[in-house]
Structure 1
Amino acid sequence: MKKPRLVLFLFTLFAILFHISAQDRPNIVFILSDDAGYADFGFQGSKEFKTPELDKLAKNSVRFTQAYVSAAVCGPSRAGLLTGKYQQKFGFEENNVPGLMSKSGLAGDDMGLPLDQKTVADYLKEQGYKTALFGKWHQGNADRFHPTKRGFDEFYGFRGGARSYMPYGSENKLTRQEDKLERGFGNFQEHEGYLTDELADEAIAFMERNKNNPFFVYLAFNAVHTPMEATSEDLGKVNGLTGKRKTLAAMAIAMDRACGKVLNRIEELGLDKNTLIVFTNDNGGPSDANESLNDPLSGTKANHLEGGIRVPFLMSWPGKLKSNTIYDDPISTLDLLPTFVTAAGGNVATIEDLDGVDLVPYLQGKNNGKPHEILYWKKENRGAIRFNDWKLVRFPDRPAELYNIKEDVSEVNDLASKHPEKVRELYQKLFDWELTLERPLWQLERRFEGLAAKRMDTYRKHK
C-alpha cells in the first residue's frame, strides 16, 4: 500500500473508531431546580402540585430517598456539585455570593468559585464533550468567574442568584447588573416570554446543534426561587390553592412543562437510549419565602435539619440503570462530578481531594457497600454530621441535638441526653473534619445567624 493511501486508511480508521467511541459515551443532561420543596412534586407524593413530566421521568429512573446537598443554600451547594468537593475545603462556606457581608473577608466582585478549582464542565471538555449552562450561575459576578471561563462552551443565563422571570424593560426595572440575561460572554439581551420556557428552548437548540457529539447540558432553572411570578395561563391551571402557594404551584407547572420539552426532544432526536439524565434541587424549600413544603422533614433552606439539606433526586440511564426503582442509602450531590466524568470515560482517581463517588456501581449492584458512611455540613458555628443512621446537629445558641434518622426522619425525638457517648463521638468526628478545612473567604453579617435560627424553629415538626 502506497504511503498516501496508508495515511488515508489510518486516518479513516481513527475517525471511525473515534466516532464509535463518541457514540458509546452518553450525553449528560443535568437539570437543577431552585428552592423547591421536598414534597412539592408528584413523584414525591404531592397531591397539590402537578408535575406529570417529572413523574414520567421518575418512572424511568432510579429515585433516591436519601439524597443530600453539601450546603443548605444555593451558591455553596452549587460550588460543591460543580467541583465534587466539600466547598468548605476551598473557603466557599455556606454563604451566597454576593450578599450583605461582614467587613472581614472578601466582598462584592472578589467573591466567587476560586479559580484554582476545576469544574465538572472542565473535566468533561477534556473528554471531548460540548458543554453548556442554561440559567443560574451564582458562582461569582466578575468576568474572571464567568461560566465560559470555567469549562462551559456556551452560556445563556444570568450570573447572579435570582432574577425576574419576565424580561426587563420599561415596566420591569432592572436593579442589579448580575440579573441581566446574557448569551455567551458579555452579550446582554433580554428574552421574550417567560424565562423558564426560554431556558428549555435554549437547551433544546444546543442539543440539536450537537446531536452528533457527546454533550453536557447543565440546565439550572431559577424556578421556583423568588420572585413569585407566574403566567396567568399557568395560574389558571391551579385549583384549591391561594396566595404564594398558588403562585408556587403555577411556577412548578411551568418548570415541569419545560423539563418535559427537553426530555421529549431528547427522545425525538433519537438520543434517549444513550443519555444520562439527573434531576434534583439545590437545597431545601424556603417555606417562609415561597410557601414550599418539605414534609415529612423538619426545617427549611438555610439550616441543617433534613428539610434544609435533603432533596428530591432522580437518575435515568437506559440500559445501564434499572428504571422505576428506589435507592435508599444516603448519597450526595458531590457524587455528580465523579459519576458524570466516569461515565464519560474519565479517570476520577487522578482528581485530588474528591469527596464524591461514582454512583453507578452501587446502583448496578457491583458495589454492595454504601456510597457514604459519613456526610458533613458546616456554616460558621453551625454544623451537622451524619454517620450511618445517626445525625448530630450543632448550634451556636443551644446544646447539640442527636437523631436516629432511620427511625425519626422528622427529627422530633432528640436523643442527645440518652446517648451522650454518641454525641461526643460525632462531635469529635465533625471537629476532626473541620480541622482539614480552609477558613471561610467571606461571611455574612452575624445578624443573619439569628434569622436562620428563627426560621428553623418556626418550621420544626413536633411530637
Structure 2
Amino acid sequence: MLIIAVGCKELPKDQDNPDSKPNIVVIYLDDLGYGDVGFNGSKVLKTPNMDRLANAGLRFTNGYATSATCTPSRYGLLTGKYPWREKDAKILPGTAPLIIGADQMTIPKMLKTKGYHTGVVGKWHLGLGDGKLDWNSKIVPSPNEVGFDYSFIMAATQDRVPTVYIKNGHVVGLDPKDPIYVDYDKNFPGEPTALDHPEMLRLKWDHGHNNSIVNGIPRIGFMKGGKSALWKDEQMADTFLKEAEDYVTAQKDGPFFLYYAMQQPHVPRTPNPRFVGKTGLGARGDVIAEADWCVGEFVRILDKQGLLDNTLIIFTSDNGPVLNDGYRDEAVEKNGDHTPWGPFRGGKYSLFDAGTHVPFFTYWKGKIQPGISDALVCQVDLLSSLADLVQSDIRTQDSEDLMDVFLGESQQGRSDLVLEATSRTAYRKGDWVMIPPHKGPAVNKSVNIELGNSEEYQLYNLKVDQGELNNLATSQKEKLQEMIAGYDQIVGKTEIKTEALELK
C-alpha cells in the first residue's frame, strides 16, 4: 500500500524557503489485493482506517503497480522506469547486490534537489551491497546511496534471511562476537533447517520455505549467527510503525519524504497477539487488520504533529493477492466468501488483471475533494508527478506527469501501460488489455493462481468483462492488431509472428 503526503501544487515562489514546500509520505503495502479493503467493496474483511482515509480522498478504480511481484514493482515506483527494462529487476534473494544504479534517478534523489530530507522505513528488497556483502560491516551501497538520508529496513522479505533490521547500512543490535553469515546455496554445518528439524517449527511450510529456522519459522535461504540482532516477527509491524512515527516527528519542520513500506500481508503472516483471531479469516486477515490499525496510528501522528494540512496521501500495494504463498497458515481454509482479488482474474505472479490492478487512492486534507476517478494511473508515474509538484524539471522515460490527476483536477490519465509479471509483459490501452503469447504453465499450482500464459493472443475489454473471461482475439482482429502495434512500439516485436496466428 502506498501513502504519499504532499502539499499544494501551486507552491509559493520562494523555493528556497523550507516552510514553503510540502511533505511527502509513501505507504506501500505488500501483497494487498484490490478486494482486500472495504473501500473497494470488501464486506467480509473490515479496514475502517484505510476506508476513512480513502473515502475522504480520491479513489482510483484503475490504479496499477508496474509488476505482479515485489522487487520489480518497487523498482518501478522508486525509479520511474518500467522494471521489464532492467534485467535484474526480479524477485531477489537477500544477498543480491543493489539493482538501482548509483547514477540512476530516484524519487528521493529528485526531492533532495529541492531540499527534502528523505527516509525509508520497512521492506526494501532491491538488493544491498555490490556483490561482496559483509553483514558485519557497514553495507554499501544501501538505500542511503540512492537518495535516502535515513533508512531502517529489512534486506528482502520477512520469509528470507537475513532476519535482521538494517539502519543506515548497519545491522541493528549486532554483537561483533557473534557475526552473521548468509548463503542461499548451502547450509552452514550444524544449523537446523525445516527438513532436518520439523519438530522446531511453530509454523509449517507448504512449499519453498524449508531452509533456516528463525523464531520457529522456516525461511528461504541459510543463516548463521547474529542472535542478538534477530527480529521478533510478531513485533515487526509495531517496530516499523514506531520508526515511521519517529521519523515524521523528527522531521516535522520539513520538508521531508518518507517511503513507509509495510510488510503486511506478505508471508509469513505473524500478527501481534493483539490481532490474532480478530477477523476470522486466519493469519492473512489478521495481519491486514493489523496493517489497517498501523495506518490509523500513523495518520494520527501526522495529525498530532499538525502535518495533515500539508500532506498528500497516496495509498496502494506492490502487487495483487495470494493466499497460500508457502506456509500452512489457513489462509485458504479460512478465506470463506472473501475475494482478495476483487472482480478481477488472477493474483500475484499473474498477467491477468488482479496481478497488478491494486488499491490506490490519494488523500490531502482540504485540497483533494472526495470522489472516485476512473483515470488510468500507475506507480511508475509518481516520480515525474512529484517532480511537477515540487517544480522540478526532472523526468524519466516511462514516468508520466499525472499530478493533476492525482490531485483530482483532471480525469485524463495514461493512454496506455505495459504491465509485467515475472519478466512476462502485457499491454493495456484504454479499456482494452492484450496479453501476447507466453510460454509456461497456465496455472501456478503451488499458489493456485492463473498466470495468463497461453500459446495464443488474448484480448479482453475490461469495461464489459472485468473478469477477463471472454477472449476477443479472434472476433476483434482489427483491435488486436492495433493493440499489438502499440505494444510493439514500446516493448519491441512480439516473439510469435501475427501471421502464424492468422490475424490478417
| TM-score range relative to shorter protein | 0.7 to 0.9
Per the TM alignment, residue 157 of structure 1 is displaced from its structure 2 partner at its CA by 1.6
1:306-325 correspondence to structure 2 within 5 Å: 306-322=353-369, 324-325=370-371
What is the match of residue 315 of structure 2?
A: 279
Ranges in structure 2 where 5+ consecutive residues have no aligned partner: 1-11, 130-138, 174-228, 326-330, 333-338, 440-453, 495-504
Which residue does the alignment assign to 1:388?
430
Residue 147 of structure 2, aligned match among 151, 155, 158: 151
What is the deviation of 1:378?
Answer: 4.0
> Does 2:27 align with 1:31?
yes
Match of 2:166 in 1: 182
Aligned residues of 2:362 and 2:406 also touching (Cα < 8 A): no
Q: Which residue of the other structure, out of 405, 421, 426, is the alignment partner of 1:362?
A: 405
Determine helix, strand or coil for the equivalent of 1:39: helix
Whole-Å separation in 2 of the counterparts to 1:159 and 1:404:
40
Aligned pair 1:65/2:61, yes or no?
yes
Alignment-derived partner of residue 347 in structure 1: 393
For the Cα contact (< 8 Å) 1:97–1:112, is it kept in 2? no
Deviations 1:35-94 (A, max 9, x none): 11211111111122221111111122100000011111000001001011212233345x
Deviations 1:308-358 (A, max 9, x none): 010000111234321x2101021101111122222223223xx342x2223
Match of 1:304 among 351, 376, 379: 351
Match in the other structure for 2:413: 371
SS in 1 for 2:96: helix
Please state how far the C-alpha of 1:427 moved relative to its aligned partner: 2.1
Q: Which one of the candidate residues 295, 298, 304 is aligned to 1:262? A: 298
Q: In the alignment, is the contact (CA less than 8 A) between 2:80 and 2:396 conserved in 1?
A: no
1:337 is matched by which residue type in structure 2?
Answer: L
**Alignment match of 1:227 (pick from 260, 268, 271):** 268
**Native 8 Å contact 2:109 2:147 kept in 1:** yes
Superposition pairs of residues 209-224 of structure 1, within 5 angstroms: 209-224=250-265
2:20, 2:377 → 1: CA distance?
26
- Aligned partners of 2:408, 2:423: CA distance in 1, in Å? 39
**Given the alignment of the two structures, is residue 404 of structure 1 paired with residue 391 of structure 2, yes or no?**
no
The correspondence for 2:123, drawn from 111, 115, 136, is 136
SS of match in other structure, 1:287: coil
Secondary structure of 1:232's aligned partner: coil
Structure 1 residues 338 and 176, CA gap change in structure 2 (3 angstroms): same
Change (3 A) 1:210 1:46: same
1:194 aligns to what SS in structure 2?
helix
2:244 to 203, 211, 214: 203
* 1:411 Cα deviation after fit: 0.6
1:405 Cα offset (Å): 0.9
1:398 Cα deviation after fit:
2.1
CA contact (8 A) 1:97 1:111 kept: no
> In structure 2, do the counterparts of structure 1 residues 436 and 420 end up closer, same or farther at CA, with 3 Å as the change threshold?
closer
CA contact (8 A) 2:244 2:298 kept: yes
CA contact (8 A) 2:81 2:396 kept: no
Aligned partners of 1:412 and 1:275: how far apart in 2? 41
Contact 2:69 2:422 in 1 (8 A): no
Q: In the aligned structure 2, how far is the partner of 1:112 from the partner of 1:126?
A: 22
- Which of 90, 102, 108 pairs up with 1:115? 102
Separation in 1, partners of 2:36, 2:29? 12
Residue equivalent to 2:211? none
Q: CA deviation at 1:381?
A: 7.3
Given that 1:135 and 1:199 are in contact with CA atoms closer than 8 Å, whether structure 2 keeps it comes out as: yes
- Give, in angstroms, the shift of residue 277 of structure 1: 1.2
CA 1:79–1:20 in structure 2 vs 1: closer, same or farther (change >3 Å)?
Answer: closer
Relative to 1, partners in 2 of residues 1:287 and 1:398: Cα closer, same or farther, differing over 3 Å? farther
Deviations 1:291-314 (A, max 9, x none): 572021100111111110100001
Give the conservation status (yes or no) of the 8 Å contact 2:58–2:408.
Answer: no
Would you say the 8 A contact 2:164–2:171 is kept in 1? no
Distance 1:380 1:201, change over 3 A: closer
**Matching residue of 1:423:** 480
> What is the rounded CA distance, in whole Å, between the counterparts of 1:17 and 1:435 in structure 2?
43
Normalising by structure 2, we get a TM-score of 0.73
Q: What is the alpha-carbon distance in structure 1 between the residues aligned to residue 410 and residue 354 of structure 2?
A: 29
Identical amino acids, percent of aligned pairs = 30
Alpha-carbon displacement from aligned partner over 1:270-296 (angstroms, at most 9, x marks no partner):
111011111110000123425572021
1:347-390 Cα shifts (integer Å, max 9, x gaps): 23xx342x22232323556555x321111124577321111111
- Higher-helix-fraction structure: 1
The RMSD of aligned alpha carbons is 2.5
Q: 1:225 to 1:388 in 2, by over 3 A?
A: same
Query: Residues of 1 paired with 2:458 and 2:128: CA distance?
Result: 37
Gaps of at least 5 residues in structure 1 are 1-15, 100-107, 164-174, 438-463
**Who is 1:4 aligned against?**
none
Q: Deviations over 1:1-50 (max 9, x none)?
A: xxxxxxxxxxxxxxx99698422321111110001121111111112222
Asked if the contact 1:25/1:345 (under 8 Å) is kept, the reply is no
Q: Deviations over 1:130-183 (max 9, x none)?
A: 1110001111132444111111111112111334xxxxxxxxxxx722x32112
1:448 alignment counterpart: none
CA distance in 1, matches of 2:302, 2:16: 20
CA positional deviation for 1:220: 0.1
How many residues matched? 391
1:44 and 1:365, CA in 2 relative to 1: closer, same or farther beyond 3 A? Answer: closer
Deviations 1:203-231 (Å, cap 9, x if unpaired)?
11111111112111110011110002123
Alignment-mate amino acid for residue 362 of structure 1: V
User: Residues of 2 paired with 1:275 and 1:232: CA distance?
Assistant: 32
Distance in 1, Cα, partners of 2:291 & 2:36: 12
